[in-house]
Amino acid sequence: MSMEDFVRKLRERKAIAAGSTKDVEAQHKKGRLTARERINILFDPDSFNEIDTLVMPRYETYMGGKDSRYGDGVITGFGLVNGRQVFAAAQDASVMGGSLGEMHANKIVKAMRMALSYGCPFIALNDSGGARIQEGVDSLGGYARIFDANCESSGVIPQLSVILGPCAGGAVYSPGLTDFIFMTENSYMFITGPEVVRSVMQENVSQEELGGGRIHATESGVAHFLSLDDRECLLKVRDLLGYLPANNISDPPYVPPRDDPERRCPELEEIVPVDPGKPYDVRQVIASIVDDGRFMEVHELWAQNMVVGFARLDGYVVGIVANQPMHLAGTIDIKASIKATHFIRICDTYNVPIITLQDVPGFLPGTNQEYGGIIRDGARLIYAYSEATVPKLMLILRKSYGGAYCVMSSKGLRGDLLYAWPNAELAVMGAAGAVNILFRNEVKAAADPAARSQELVAEYQEKFNNPYVAASRGLIDDVIEPRDSRRILVRALRVTLSKRERHIPKKHGISPM
């Protein structure tokens, strides 16, 4: 055979691996793209390098299957995303439903371990019918090895899961172990499907209602990002990677700022009403302070009383954690605690300084919260702030009451540079509640109880509900004018970027769970 013949035969094999036109149409009919089309959107043009293209499914090898396909239903490899090296695995639903057999799992684990060795992010594009039935326990063993690689990679390289079709049964636990989960409206994840739910629980529920992208983005919080379709989703993945370092010993990408670091923000005085009872959208405050008003919100549709996400300040990536007075008056509840905890852990892992914007009346009271374990979940938040060794900056916009003051980046939790606006209220509780407890008898005995109560509330407000008591104790570092927020935070960030804090050596702590 001539070299030309060898090359022709190689090309034939690779063409089989690349899938047929019929397969493309089948995916498009479902409103989804093929694995290859997804790879092409995710990676910079012509930068993807496939590996293990010629791997064959084990069962087809020994069963001599008629529809034998190279690649075994998953494309793996590496390439550039915004010029940076990234590894990926994309399940190909056109080959045996993207089901996971032994060799399919081997390919994924190999790519994951390469990503871990070379300190590159790993992205899994999921679209699979789950464990390949014909391969039985070999398939289950494959899942376990993927989970193990997920755990080993956790905290070292960014792991992103992108759910673009079905992801059912135990298969959901690989995404569950990763840093971020992206879903489309057209994808679903569940531990057990609608049929099992119907027979065991006598509950009638559709796939979308049980585990559709929207449900996981709004109800369970399992999905951190929701997109309309594959393209939008993959472009969002590219955006997120722009805020993350390649691994835990690198810094996130710095982009020289166009926005003036000394820019004043007089609009903040309009955005935040002085009346502590009036709501506003804290995302407007974030947009005013950060570079170019750009904020990539995480968990946008879940636990909306807490807002978290990435932005840049003076060109450096920062993580923002902010109470949202527009929802539940910005109180902290179980979901908000879990949301903020996850985000703080991510920031700390990937060397992203945390900026906390506080306007919080306290924890959400009630049996729902107590029965649900707010004690445990609130404790997680404390643990995450305490354990974080990245720079921790804080700005109190208005209210900072009670336990909520303590748990969010306070001095006691080794917050680095903490600021408050002059209208800020730092106290154990609001004035009306405090007067009710401290002066109940005095108010009752007064000739005009309502007038006396008002007087006492005014006195309390004057004495305690301001930032100056905290400033006089060094519990905040300065009281600043709202319009100076950006320039002061930029300066605080610059001086804290060199922070190097180490933990006391131990096997690991026992964080509340």
For residues 166 and 183, the answer to whether their CB atoms sit within 8 Å is: no
In this complex, which beta carbon is closest to ligand HXC, that of residue 143 or of residue 225?
143
Site string for ligand HXC, 136-175 (x = CB under 6 A): ----x--x----------------------x-xxxx----
CA 279/CA 485 separation, integer angstroms: 20
In this complex, which beta carbon is closest to ligand HXC, that of residue 84 or of residue 145?
145
Minimum Å gap between C-beta 169 and ligand HXC is 3
Q: Tell which one of 74, 131, 313, 427 touches ligand HXC (CB under 6 A).
A: 131
In this complex, which beta carbon is closest to ligand HXC, that of residue 168 or of residue 321?
168
3-class secondary structure for 75-139? Answer: EEEEEEECCEEEEEEEECCCCHHHCECHHHHHHHHHHHHHHHHHCCCEEEEECCCCECHHHHHHH
Instruction: Given the residues 65, 242, 373, 403, select the one marked as catalytic.
Output: 403
Minimum Å gap between C-beta 194 and ligand HXC is 10
65 binds ligand HXC (CB under 6 A): no
Backbone angles phi, psi at 455, to 5 degrees: -60, -45
In this complex, which beta carbon is closest to ligand HXC, that of residue 132 or of residue 236?
132
Instruction: Given the residues 35, 217, 388, 404, select the one marked as catalytic.
Output: 404
Minimum Å gap between C-beta 210 and ligand HXC is 13
CA 439/CA 477 separation, integer angstroms: 32
Q: Provide the strand spans (E) within 202-315.
A: 225-227, 295-298, 306-313
Active site residue 366: no
Tokens 């956790």 -> residue: 154
Q: Tell which one of 32, 58, 132, 486 touches ligand HXC (CB under 6 A).
A: 132
Segment interacting with ligand HXC (CB under 6 A) among 128-136, 261-269, 299-307, 429-437: 128-136
130 binds ligand HXC (CB under 6 A): yes
CA 65/CA 159 separation, integer angstroms: 34
Active site residue 330: no
Instruction: Given the residues 169, 211, 212, 402, select the one marked as catalytic.
Output: 169
Tokens 């539940």 -> residue: 328
Segment interacting with ligand HXC (CB under 6 A) among 5-13, 127-135, 256-264, 378-386: 127-135
Site string for ligand HXC, 82-121 (x = CB under 6 A): --------------xx-x----------------------
Closest CA to 224 of 128, 346, 315: 346
Active site residue 169: yes
Minimum Å gap between C-beta 200 and ligand HXC is 15
In this complex, which beta carbon is closest to ligand HXC, that of residue 147 or of residue 464?
147
In this complex, which beta carbon is closest to ligand HXC, that of residue 66 or of residue 508?
66
In this complex, which beta carbon is closest to ligand HXC, that of residue 143 or of residue 310?
143
Return all residues near 182 (Cβ < 8 A) that are at least 6 apart. 160, 161, 162, 163, 223, 224, 225, 226, 227, 233, 236, 237
Residue 193: strand, helix, or coil: coil
Instruction: Given the residues 65, 119, 170, 373, select the one marked as catalytic.
Output: 170
Query: What is the distance, to the nearest Å, from the Cα of residue 439 to the centroid of all Cα atoms in its chain?
Result: 45
What's the distance, Cα to Cα, between the start and end of the chain in Å?
Answer: 64
CA dihedral 28, 29, 31, 34 (to 10 degrees): -30
Task: Identify the sign of the CA torsion 324, 327, 331, 336.
Answer: negative
Active site residue 403: yes
The DSSP call for residue 504 is P
194 binds ligand HXC (CB under 6 A): no
Q: Tell me which residues are annotated as active site.
A: 169-170, 403-404
Point out which residues bind ligand HXC (CB under 6 A). 96-97, 99, 129-133, 140, 143, 166, 168-171
